[in-house]
Amino acid sequence: MDVTAFLHDVRSRHWYEGQAIHREDVPVRSARYSELASPLAHPLEEALEAAGIVNLYSHQAEAVDAIRGGENVIVATPAASGKSLCYHLPVLDTLLSDRSATALFLFPTKALAQDQSGALDRLVPEGSRLRHAIFDGDTPTDDRAAIRRSAKIVLTNPDMLHAGMLPNHGQWHRLLQGLRYVVVDEAHMYRGVFGSHVANVLRRLRRLCKRLGAEPQFILSSATISNPREHAEGLAGVPFRVIDDDGAPFGGKDFVFWNPPMIDIAEGSRQSTNHETSLLMEELMMRKIRTLAFVRSRRMAELLYVATRNKLRESSPMEAGRLSPYRASYLPEDRRQIERDLFTGKLLGLTTTNAMELGIDVGDLDATLISGYPGSISSVWQQAGRSGRRGTRSLSVLVAFDNPLDQYFMRHPDTFFGKAHESARISPTNPYVLKPHLLCAAYEAPLTAADSDLFDIELPELARELEQDGFLHTRHGRWHLDPETTYPAQQVSLRSTSSVHYTLAENESGVVLETVDEGSAFSQLFPGAIYLHKGDPYLITELDVEAQIAFGSRTDVPYYTEVRELTVTRVLNTYKTRPAGNTTVYLGDVSVTTTVVGFQRRASLTREELGEEHVDLPPQRIDTVSLWFDVPPDTLAYIADEKMDLAGGLHAVEHAAIGILPLFALCDRNDIGGISTPLHPDTGRPQVFIHDGHPGGVGISEHGYEVIEELWQATLDVVSACPCKSGCPSCIHSPKCGNNNHPLDKRVAVLILRSVLGLEGAT
């Protein structure tokens, strides 16, 4: 597409107010090719030629040679670099020559498994009788026995491996005994709680394979991250070789940073991100430019779809019907149809969650819109990489939210384009994650002390705890699952530390619409909430906590709801402390009790507050990891002498620092929380806490503890540079604040941040 012409046209629109604040030219890159050390099987070479592949990029050849040499490999290169060929070729080459060998391909989404199954169809030589098959929750029951009996390559996801295959490993004896390769695609997605669970699933897989005499190689593919070897070895528990020198060509990209215009400079209010993204999407679709718009939540995917569709009905009616929302919670047949319609060109635009971020081939897209920073630089480039996949120049636009991190990048674009990608962090030995997997492993085969090395723990100690809790019993030096504990895998969700899910049903018909995990249920399905399903708003009328079900009715309202929560944090244990800047920082275990206390109604496009209501829901408690720090005594004395608002300053520092922390740790804003107080009951001092949002922690607070000085400095940059007078969503406001962002004091926040950094003029 002609990006310059498009931006010129946009700048002529009456609503344009200088939103395009930075344009980065990502240059064209030529391909680099390499030869394999030894040729592939002749039928496979013929299949490659038939698919139009006559040369391999340098990183593909390096990966294939390393895998054929017996190494575990992680390929960490950008989107559209041909990573799938790095594992397709060595796996097919081996399976064509070894009739007993099998392979297991793991994908984070069902859509990606479908896409890669199609890629295998094009590469498997005709007449080879090398069968591959998808085995997931959508696989028809009648097909499953045949897949277990004869498939050489099984494509599945970690959830099915965890709950369907490993507990029934006797039915998979043939696959596991001959398992030569385990492919883990999009490995960067396995981080935080999800990644910690998957790491334990892979250890359970290795454990069963070892019992059958198999020791599979691991092949991982990943977006660019800063710690590929550490992450791969943390996931699989074996040594890895890293291949990250990308030899694929790149057609070039114009990357635009788009900051919504200020509505009120003094208040710091901006036009909504959704509104700005909708304007851009309308402009692109009017010109028949194929576009993906990424949003941060399922609700926003629906809101953006509705807003853009309504605009197009007036400006370009023919294109209004070529737009669709997309998210992982849709029914399988609906997702497959949307994917086909996008690939064939029937659809011109899609509003999607990160479910479409991964490597699903959706054809030649020209533009990607990223509505709000998705939490990591890696994710931004993955989403941006969905356009321009055919080697042509493309456009990507990051539309900022009015939060501290987005605004930091808007003011410091060089930081984004010059910053290294973040590290992916997991914590497989988190007891809230590990203990349930030990029960799953005991169901699959009795545990022994020899399993300590596999799970990287002192197993007898944890096993005794599980024995005291009544889940295990000892016999002949081995730990067996208690007979009353049946099928523990059903109780373990890989996506959270909770096994509880709530069902949303339609009031009138009783039809089940969706399921929501317990961690999100209280903040999304409370009575009075507006929940969007396929673009239609549902008013939640009832939440039955005991039955774990919510009921909603279709409604037609021009607003959405935003939850309000109250958080109380108590210190359980302090196990690290160090001097930092001009103060002291601590790391330890805390208990965090969160109670949903109410919600606000806000206008769908303008975010104008329309009203607030109270709700009465039971509190939720987690034990997790937190960092906290002191304020220097001289600063406290100065604030007291000047009768300044200490509580408001601490509160503002907490909000801003939490908003900036994802700049340093690969996490989502919702993965972390915090509180601040002028006098904490456990320390006897003013305190700011920042904690992991998951039981047991997943390494985010630990990383924040290590880089606290950098976090303070970036937070100070955001707060002091914001043009608002007394605080706004771009610097110190938080949409999740249980106190409706009161009290907040921007001036005192700057004072505290300068003080902890030891800067002159702090008092």
Pick 375 or 612 by higher pLDDT: 612
Q: What is the pLDDT, as a whole number, of residue 521?
A: 86
SS3 90: helix
Q: Report the percent of the chain where pLDDT is more than 90.
A: 63
- Which residue is associated with the tokens 């100065």? 638
Q: What is the pLDDT, as a whole number, of residue 83?
A: 93
SS (H, E, C) 519-586: HHHHHHCCCCCEEEECCEEEEEEEEECCCCEEEEEECCCCEEEEEEEEEEEEEEEEEEEEEECCEEEE
Q: How far apart are the first and last CA of the chain?
A: 54
Give one word for 246, left, alpha or beta, with left for phi > 0 and alpha for psi -120 to 50.
Answer: beta
How do residues 504-534 score in pLDDT, each as one tens digit?
A: 999 988 888 888 877 778 888 999 999 987 6
Q: Which residues contact 19 (CB under 8 A, 6 or more apart)?
A: 258, 259, 260, 261, 276
State the Rg of the chain over Cα: 26
Q: pLDDT-based confidence at 705, cuts 50/70/90? A: very high
How deeply is 276 buried, as exposed, middle or buried, from its count of CB atoms within 10 A (0-12, 13-18, 19+)? buried
Average pLDDT, the chain: 90
What is the rounded distance in angstroms from the CA atom of residue 157 to the CA atom of residue 112? 10
Q: Is there a contact between 132 and 153 (Cβ–Cβ < 8 Å)?
A: yes
Neighbours of 512 (CB within 10 A): 11
Extract the tokens encoding 374. 């998705």
Extract the tokens encoding 275. 């509104």
Give the pTM: 0.81
Best CA proximity match to 226, nearest among 707, 572, 652, 633? 707
What is the rounded distance in angstroms from the CA atom of residue 620 to the CA atom of residue 688? 21
Decide if pLDDT at 363 tops 70. Answer: no
Average pLDDT over residues 613-629: 92
What is the rounded distance in angstroms from the CA atom of residue 482 to the CA atom of residue 555? 49
Which amino acid type is present at position 326? Y
Which amino acid type is present at position 21? I
Q: What is the pLDDT, as a whole number, of residue 70?
A: 97
Extract the tokens encoding 263. 């509505």
Q: What is the pLDDT, as a whole number, of residue 379?
A: 84
Extract the tokens encoding 509. 């018909």
Neighbours of 478 (CB within 10 A): 17
Q: pLDDT-based confidence at 763, cuts 50/70/90? A: low
Decide if pLDDT at 651 tops 90. Answer: yes
Domains for the chain: give ranges and CATH numbers: 3-27+250-418 (3.40.50.300), 33-243 (3.40.50.300), 431-491 (1.10.10), 501-557 (no CATH), 565-757 (no CATH)
Extract the tokens encoding 640. 């007291």
Average pLDDT over residues 595-600: 88
Average pLDDT over residues 658-663: 88
What is the rounded distance in angstroms from the CA atom of residue 70 to the CA atom of residue 217? 7
Best CA proximity match to 745, nearest among 755, 732, 759, 762? 732
Q: What is the pLDDT, as a whole number, of residue 738?
A: 67
Q: Is there a contact between 677 and 628 (Cβ–Cβ < 8 Å)?
A: no
Q: What is the pLDDT, as a whole number, of residue 335?
A: 79
Best CA proximity match to 466, nearest among 487, 442, 490? 442
Q: pLDDT-based confidence at 590, cuts 50/70/90? A: very high
What is the rounded distance in angstroms from the CA atom of residue 247 to the CA atom of residue 60? 8
How do residues 456-504 score in pLDDT, each as one tens digit?
A: 988 888 998 999 889 999 998 899 998 887 889 988 888 766 667 789 9
Decide if pLDDT at 694 tops 90. Answer: no
Q: pLDDT-based confidence at 697, cuts 50/70/90? A: confident
Decide if pLDDT at 179 tops 90. Answer: yes
Which amino acid type is present at position 578? R
Q: What is the pLDDT, as a whole number, of residue 100?
A: 94
Extract the tokens encoding 437. 């997997």
343-346 LR contacts (CB < 8 Å, sep 24+):
345/290, 346/322
Decide if pLDDT at 168 tops 90. Answer: yes
Q: What is the pLDDT, as a whole number, of residue 498?
A: 62
Q: What is the pLDDT, as a whole number, of residue 499?
A: 60
What is the rounded distance in angstroms from the CA atom of residue 550 to the CA atom of residue 505? 6
Average pLDDT over residues 204-229: 95
Q: What is the pLDDT, as a whole number, of residue 484?
A: 80
Decide if pLDDT at 605 tops 90. Answer: no
Range of 87-101, 110-124, 650-664 with top mean pLDDT:
87-101
Extract the tokens encoding 247. 């030899």
Decide if pLDDT at 389 tops 90. Answer: no
Q: What is the pLDDT, as a whole number, of residue 740?
A: 72
Q: Is there a contact between 476 and 521 (Cβ–Cβ < 8 Å)?
A: no
Average pLDDT over residues 576-584: 96
Q: What is the pLDDT, as a whole number, of residue 13?
A: 94
* Residue 218, beta-bridge partner list: 182
